[in-house]
């Protein structure tokens, strides 16, 4: 692993530093809460990460290899992960009176979610280390993502899911050949059981908030936002928040850009949660005191989390950025999902539309300037959860007769002509 | 429309030539069977379509503007249509002993299907002509595609679907704000009714095999295959076939490349149908005699078509290419869908996996050389039809207890450890 660019793993709690060969998951002193931050030789990395170098590089995650925990970038799965489109949605901007709104559609990743970024790095890391089996617990997206990318390279996957995971997501990962274990319990229960299995059988674990390298995959979205904006950053980045790993990953990406001296301003992070699953929003206004809520529930299943695993880094990141958390009711997420599709052509899953719901609320409450540059990150494809979309829909199809003679009458009755 | 590059519309049946301003849909002399071929000043177009020019051009369909029926390329919808990934699936190649197999994943288009290419051109054409409403009949993909791209630009859509269209597809187009009319009948019935409505109300019609410009959008996949292969073409291109428009569009693209003098060899087209919906396969071995089958049915709903609208161009294209049609049973499509996902990480809808089923059969029957370069075009994302995927799956999830003490026993019982 001569080319492994990680120089240090540093505990987020006790700040003790480890060599990357010393430890695989969390800080041995602090236990599972001691998430390790992955650090690099930023001075050296900066050379390959300057705009002029990146403009020449092929459009794949390998372009960020100098600050990824991968020894051999050829071990990244051969699917088009990242490089997702950044849209300037004219009609949605008009609808919200928010003229500098941007949508980054991460639902366009190979398996339909942002999680492909983290899975890609996890797969490469496993291949670097000659590991042939990866396990994870997931509400769905991380699992299908891991399974899909493992299918492309031939790694085995064992996935722990809560018993009420949407069938569409379970089907997707079975199609990819994963072994799926439905745990008779919640996401948190599935997570605990996967941790037990990791400890017991020595499987490689993909759980974010545990495996430090996953966050490094997630940060690639931040690096792309920087590139999409022409090597600068918008004033706000809004994203849906469940366990805090995505927003934590984004913050890590922005911080790394700062460490390399490539930006002079960091964006403010807006973490948007569903009211029914808003542990971090409450903690943020309560001295960062995290109180798990085992009954957390929202129809935006990808962010339905009672025990946020990456609470510390999410809270710290949002605070350092000068941003904030906000919680919105499911009814507003449903409206945002329809609005996003109807006015931009981007069909996001409920959790993917959640930051738009938060943005609407912020604009209504004048918490942010409507003229600011705002990037909304859509983290999952609406096709992943058709049942969720059906709940959001107010509209329905009209049934009409086959008889052409009745066509005009039918359409008149429906007020279409 | 000074910059409108179309020079001529030529009837596929009687070969009569029209000026593009003269006629909007099919040949007035031949009626709805007289599909018009769209022609350009190929000598002039060739300059902008040479590899050195294209290498510099932005990655959007606008790069092909010199041979697209669009006056203003800025009217193309602002979503990432086309530019889909071309994979070299190592494990799938091994599985099939087909070392030069390529997968082009058009399920990665914005609304999840190949049809976005045609819809993009349709939307641009409507905007060119100051039209504000588009109608179509569709089994689902063309409709959701049209609705999504219209949502991005603010055009109204009225969609006729058969009453048994999968709910996932109907939901997607309702999310995009389309008016959906469920016709109490088949796809063919929905098509007829949409044609009646077009004639009666003067709506702009997106139906392929009727609106000549749709095929021009579809041909962009052929142009991309040429680019993906480094400005040359593979020996075979295999694709699923329902009404014949996709394969007809591919052939038009390859022919246009030939007309511009940019290729010296055309690929052989393999049109793969489901046995239950194989009108064109039968016609191909029966002197091109097309006998509609009103009871046509396959679980691959996107290619379940009893009256193929583009029969003439599909049959002619496949014949001219030196290729052939082949029909496979649904059971083999199901196997191919699982194989595609499991060994490449590409989750295609049943119709999208159909060409892979055809390829397997061809390899088994030694109808094609397993060492040849073969491109399989996956035309739709598996997430669009989770019910279809569930039929394909042999595997299922295992339920396990929450009790960590039972974990090892449970996993042993399942032969996982």
For residue B291, count CB atoms less than 10 angstroms from its CB and return exposed for 0-12, middle for 13-18, buried for 19 or more.
exposed
Q: What are phi and psi of A22, to 5 degrees?
A: -80, -35
Tokens describing residue A78: 């051969």
Instruction: Give the pLDDT of residue B139.
Output: 67
Q: Which residue has the tokens 């039968």?
A: B282
Determine contact, residues A378/A406, Cβ cutoff 8 Å: no
Q: How confident is the model at residue B300 (pLDDT cuts 50, 70, 90)?
A: very high
Tokens describing residue B149: 């791209």
Q: Is the pTM of this model over 0.90?
A: yes
Tokens describing residue B275: 């046995």
Quote the CA–CA distance of B340 and B352 in Å, as a whole number: 10
Residues of chain B above pLDDT 90, percent: 79
Residue B78 touches chain A, beta carbons under 8 Å = yes
DSSP assignment letter at B381: B
Q: Across chain A, which distance is largest between two alpha carbons, in Å?
A: 79
State whether A345 and B401 contact (CB < 8 Å). Answer: no
Report chain B's C-alpha Rg in angstroms: 21
Determine contact, residues B169/B384, Cβ cutoff 8 Å: yes
Contacts B149 to A, Cβ<8 Å: 345
Contacts B148 to A, Cβ<8 Å: 341, 345, 347
CB-closest option in B172, B179, B404 to A196: B404
Residue A80 touches chain B, beta carbons under 8 Å = yes
Contacts A180 to B, Cβ<8 Å: 395-398
B86-111+214-392 is classed CATH 3.40.50.150: no
Determine contact, residues B174/B273, Cβ cutoff 8 Å: no
Q: Taking Cα atoms as reference points, which of B297, B292, B320, B321 lies closest to residue B307?
A: B292
State whether B338 and A175 contact (CB < 8 Å). Answer: yes
State whether A189 and B402 contact (CB < 8 Å). Answer: yes
Instruction: Give the pLDDT of residue A2.
Output: 62
Question: Nearest 5 degrees, angle CA B405-CA A175-CA A391?
Answer: 90
With b for 16 or more beta-carbon neighbours within 10 A and e for fewer, the A305-333 pattern comes to bbbbbbbbbbbebbeebebbbbbbebebb
Q: In sequence order, what are the residues at sequence separation of 6 or more whose Cβ sits closer than 8 angstroms to the Cβ of residue B129? A: B204
**Gap from A129 CA to chain B (nearest CA, Å):** 20
Q: Where are the domains of chain A?
A: 87-108+214-392
Cβ contacts from A onto B, under 8 A: 230
Beta bridge partners of B179: B158
CB-closest option in A184, A337, A416 to B158: A416
> Residues 326 to 345 of B: which have CB under 8 A from any A CB?
337-338, 341-345
Contacts A197 to B, Cβ<8 Å: 407, 411
In 10 A of CB B316, how many CB atoms? 15
Instruction: Give the pLDDT of residue B208.
Output: 78
**Gap from B367 CA to chain A (nearest CA, Å):** 27
> Residues 146 to 205 of B: which have CB under 8 A from any A CB?
148-154, 158, 161, 163, 167-168, 170-172, 174-177, 179-185, 189, 192-193, 196-197, 200-201
> Residues 15 to 54 of A: which have CB under 8 A from any B CB?
none
DSSP assignment letter at B316: H
pLDDT tens digit sequence for A147-199: 999 999 999 999 998 888 777 778 998 999 999 999 998 878 888 899 999 99
Q: In sequence order, what are the residues at sequence separation of 6 or more whose Cβ sits closer than 8 angstroms to the Cβ of residue A164? A: none
CB-closest option in B149, B163, B344 to A152: B344
In 10 A of CB A37, how many CB atoms? 18
Across residues B168-176, what is the average pLDDT?
88
> Residues 248 to 307 of B: which have CB under 8 A from any A CB?
none
pLDDT tens digit sequence for A107-126: 999 999 999 999 999 999 99
Query: Could you list the pLDDT tens digit for every one of the 417 residues in chain A?
Result: 568 999 999 998 899 999 998 999 999 999 988 889 999 999 999 999 999 999 999 889 999 999 999 999 999 999 999 999 999 999 999 999 999 999 999 999 999 999 999 999 999 999 999 999 999 988 689 999 999 999 999 999 999 988 887 777 789 989 999 999 999 988 788 888 999 999 999 899 998 778 999 999 999 999 999 999 999 999 999 999 999 999 999 999 999 999 999 999 999 999 999 999 999 999 999 999 999 999 999 999 899 989 998 999 999 999 999 999 999 999 999 999 999 999 999 999 999 999 999 999 999 999 999 999 999 999 999 998 888 898 999 888 999 988 888 888 888 888 888
Instruction: Give the pLDDT of residue A248.
Output: 96
Q: How far is CA A283 from CA A54, A243, A316, A320, B37, in A?
A: 39, 13, 11, 15, 64
DSSP assignment letter at A380: B
In 10 A of CB A403, how many CB atoms? 12
Determine contact, residues B116/B110, Cβ cutoff 8 Å: yes
Beta bridge partners of B277: B274
Tokens describing residue B14: 């009687």
N-to-C CA span, chain B: 68
State whether A151 and B345 contact (CB < 8 Å). Answer: yes
The answer on pLDDT for B225 being more than 60 is: yes
Beta bridge partners of B374: B101, B236
**What is the helix (H) or strand (E) element at residue B400, kind and residue range?**
strand B398-400
Tokens describing residue A76: 């990244």
**Gap from B259 CA to chain A (nearest CA, Å):** 31
Q: How far is CA A277 from CA A210, A285, A297, in A?
A: 21, 15, 6
The answer on pLDDT for B375 being more than 70 is: yes
Q: Across chain B, which distance is largest between two alpha carbons, in Å?
A: 79
Determine contact, residues B293/B280, Cβ cutoff 8 Å: no
Sort strands B36-40 and B6-11 into parallel, antiparallel or unpaired: antiparallel
> Residues 90 to 149 of A: which have CB under 8 A from any B CB?
90-91, 105, 108, 110-112, 148-149
CB-closest option in B192, B383, B407 to A383: B383
Question: What does B163-187 look like in DSSP terms, one character per residue?
Answer: TT--HHHHHHHHHTT-EEEEESS-H
Interface residue of A80, A90, A175, A378 to substitute, partner B, most B CBs within 10 Å: A175
Question: Nearest 5 degrees, angle CA A356-CA A360-CA A361?
Answer: 120
Determine contact, residues B205/B195, Cβ cutoff 8 Å: yes
Residue A324 touches chain B, beta carbons under 8 Å = no
Quote the CA–CA distance of B219 and B317 in Å, as a whole number: 13
Q: Where are the alpha helices (DSSP H) in B291-349?
A: 311-321, 330-344
CB-closest option in B181, B347, B389 to A398: B181
pLDDT tens digit sequence for B11-41: 988 999 999 989 999 999 999 888 899 999 9
A87-108+214-392 is classed CATH 3.30.1330.10: no
């Amino acid at each position: 692993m001569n080319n492994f660019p990680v120089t240090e793993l540093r505990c987020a709690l006790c700040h003790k530093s480890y060599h990357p060969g010393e430890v695989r998951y969390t800080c041995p002193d602090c236990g599972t809460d001691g998430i390790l931050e992955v650090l690099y030789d930023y001075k050296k990395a900066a050379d390959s990460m300057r705009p002029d170098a990146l403009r020449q590089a092929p459009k794949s995650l390998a372009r960020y290899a100098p600050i990824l925990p991968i020894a051999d970038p050829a071990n990244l799965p051969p699917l088009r992960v990242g490089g997702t489109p950044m849209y300037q949605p004219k009609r949605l901007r008009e609808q919200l009176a928010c003229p500098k709104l941007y949508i980054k559609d991460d639902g366009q990743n190979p398996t339909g979610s942002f999680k492909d970024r983290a899975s890609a790095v996890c797969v490469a890391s496993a291949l670097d280390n000659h590991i042939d089996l990866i396990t994870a617990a997931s509400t769905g997206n991380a699992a299908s993502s891991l399974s899909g990318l493992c299918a492309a390279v031939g790694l085995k996957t064992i996935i722990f899911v809560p018993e009420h995971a949407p069938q569409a997501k379970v089907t997707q990962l079975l199609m990819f050949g994963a072994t799926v274990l439905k745990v008779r319990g919640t996401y948190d229960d599935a997570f605990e059981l996967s941790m037990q299995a990791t400890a017991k059988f020595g499987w490689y674990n993909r759980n974010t908030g545990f495996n430090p390298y996953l966050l490094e995959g997630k940060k690639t979205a931040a690096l792309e936002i920087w590139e999409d904006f022409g090597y600068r950053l918008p004033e706000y980045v809004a994203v849906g928040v469940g366990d805090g790993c995505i927003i934590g990953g984004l913050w890590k990406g922005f911080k790394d850009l700062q460490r390399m001296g490539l930006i002079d301003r960091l964006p403010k992070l807006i973490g948007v949660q569903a009211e029914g699953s808003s542990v971090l929003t409450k903690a943020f206004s309560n001295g960062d005191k995290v109180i798990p809520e085992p009954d957390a529930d929202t129809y935006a299943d990808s962010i339905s989390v009672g025990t946020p695993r990456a609470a510390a880094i999410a809270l710290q990141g949002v605070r350092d950025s000068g941003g904030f958390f906000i919680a919105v009711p499911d009814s507003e997420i449903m409206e945002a999902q329809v609005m996003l599709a109807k006015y931009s052509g981007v069909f996001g899953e409920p959790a993917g539309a959640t930051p738009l719901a938060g943005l609407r609320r912020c604009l209504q409450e004048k918490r942010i300037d409507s003229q600011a540059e705002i990037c909304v990150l859509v983290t999952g494809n609406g096709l992943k959860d058709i049942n969720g979309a059906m709940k959001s829909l107010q509209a329905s199809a009209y049934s009409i007769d086959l008889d052409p003679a009745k066509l005009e009458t039918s359409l008149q009755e429906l007020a279409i002509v």
